[in-house]
């Protein structure tokens, strides 16, 4: 079971969590969630906004591939990924990942895996606007290295 959404509007962690619990019934023993936020500072200075662009259809498919890899690797009951696009100011929520499983080890590992792969394999482009300039940014070396570690 999984659910993937790419949207401009914000999401409610509370609502998504309740919907997930309802779907799970009594089967899950562990639910791990991750919420990503827009930071107010980056290497280029104070961030006034982060713009995320996507390719409708291809982006959702790329996220589904990541979720399917996680479901193959761990025993998971539900995976929810909600990713926002458009212009986002600092402090805004960008991404929500919820992973449910019977036992906590699977949920912890799979949530980290999904998030690490989202940072390198999901079809998005990001532009950061700071005090000085607007620049299209690349995956960081840390993101690439974390994603590669799962492949070893």
Partner 1 sequence: MTTRSITIQVKLFASLKESLGTSQISLTVPVKSTVEMLLKKIHDTHGRDNPLIDIRQVCVAVNQQIVEFDHVIIQDDEVAIFPQITGG
Q: Which residues bind partner 1 (CB under 8 A)?
A: 36, 52-53, 55, 57-58, 61, 83, 94-95, 118-127, 136-139, 143
Please provide residue 40's backbone torsions phi and psi, each rounded to the nearest 5 degrees. -85, -10
Residue 74 Cβ, how far from partner 1 at the closest point, in Å? Answer: 21
**Of 26 and 151, which has the nearer Cβ to partner 1?**
151
Distance between CA atoms of residues 87 and 84, nearest Å: 9
**Of 77 and 95, which has the nearer Cβ to partner 1?**
95
Residue 59 Cβ, how far from partner 1 at the closest point, in Å? Answer: 9
Residue 117 Cβ, how far from partner 1 at the closest point, in Å? Answer: 8
Of 1, 112, 122, the closest CA to residue 58 belongs to: 122
Residue 99 Cβ, how far from partner 1 at the closest point, in Å? Answer: 16
Are 31 and 19 contacting, i.e. CB atoms less than 8 angstroms apart?
no
**Of 22 and 142, which has the nearer Cβ to partner 1?**
142
Label the pairing between strands 78-84 and 2-7. Answer: parallel
What is the CB-side half-sphere exposure of residue 85 using CA atoms within 13 A? 13
Show the DSSP H helices in 41-103 as ranges. Answer: 58-73
Please provide residue 86's backbone torsions phi and psi, each rounded to the nearest 5 degrees. 100, -160
**Of 112 and 121, which has the nearer Cβ to partner 1?**
121
**Of 11 and 77, which has the nearer Cβ to partner 1?**
11
Residue 29 Cβ, how far from partner 1 at the closest point, in Å? Answer: 28
Which helix (H) or strand (E) is 15 found in, with range? helix 13-24
């Amino acid at each position: 079971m999984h659910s993937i959404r790419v949207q401009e509007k914000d999401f409610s962690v509370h609502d998504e969590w309740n919907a997930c619990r309802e779907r799970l019934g009594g089967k899950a023993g562990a639910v791990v969630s991750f919420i990503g936020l827009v930071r107010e500072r980056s290497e280029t200075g104070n961030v006034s906004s982060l713009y995320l662009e996507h390719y409708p259809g291809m982006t959702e498919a790329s996220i589904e591939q990541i979720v399917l890899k996680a479901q193959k690797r761990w025993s998971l009951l539900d995976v929810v990924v909600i990713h926002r696009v458009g212009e986002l100011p600092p402090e805004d929520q960008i991404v929500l990942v919820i992973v449910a499983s019977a036992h906590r080890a699977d949920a912890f590992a799979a949530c980290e895996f999904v998030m690490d792969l989202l940072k390198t394999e999901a079809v998005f482009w990001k532009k950061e606007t700071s005090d000085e300039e607007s620049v299209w940014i690349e995956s960081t070396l840390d993101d690439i290295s974390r994603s590669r570690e799962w492949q070893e």
